[in-house]
Structure 1
Amino acid sequence: MNPKRSNSKGGGKMPMLHMNAAAIDIGATMHMAAVRADRAPEPVRSSGTFTTDLHRLVDWFAECGVETSSWNRPASTGF
């Protein structure tokens, strides 16, 4: 077992690897985005899928100090 990973019995936390990262769950009609809880009063946000919506999301990420992101898309989005 990797010593850096925690197990559920040990109660430890996994180490934070990317302090300035955001997560995006990509959907066909809406995206959900999250930043670290200490970066924004409401760290989870929904976004539309149009270009202007995505520009607003990028602006929010910049305000929150985001430098990288991880995204997930369900198979149902079709791309």
Structure 2
Amino acid sequence: MAAFSLTQSRSALGAFYRRLRSRLGAPKAITATAHKIARLFYRMWTTGGQYADPGMDYYEQRYHEQVLNHLRNKARSLGFDLVAQPTAKECVS
């Protein structure tokens, strides 16, 4: 129930759930998110630590960087180089 309640949450766990739901479907995303919550709970329980949610924006930025790194490595393995193009926000400035 805790994992399903993250559907509209603006937390890192909510962003994780929505990303998985779009790719795997709701049942698998709920199970994976519940597993992640259980791991976080266990780590906090055993170490006595506290959970500090980094927020949805931090999670999305980190995921975006992981995707870019994967693309760079894939292009490099195929003998290509990625060249950054200016975005619309950068062109307006």
TM-score normalised by structure 2 residue count = 0.25
- Using the size of structure 1 for normalisation, the TM-score is 0.29
Relative to its length, the structure with more helix (as a share) is 2
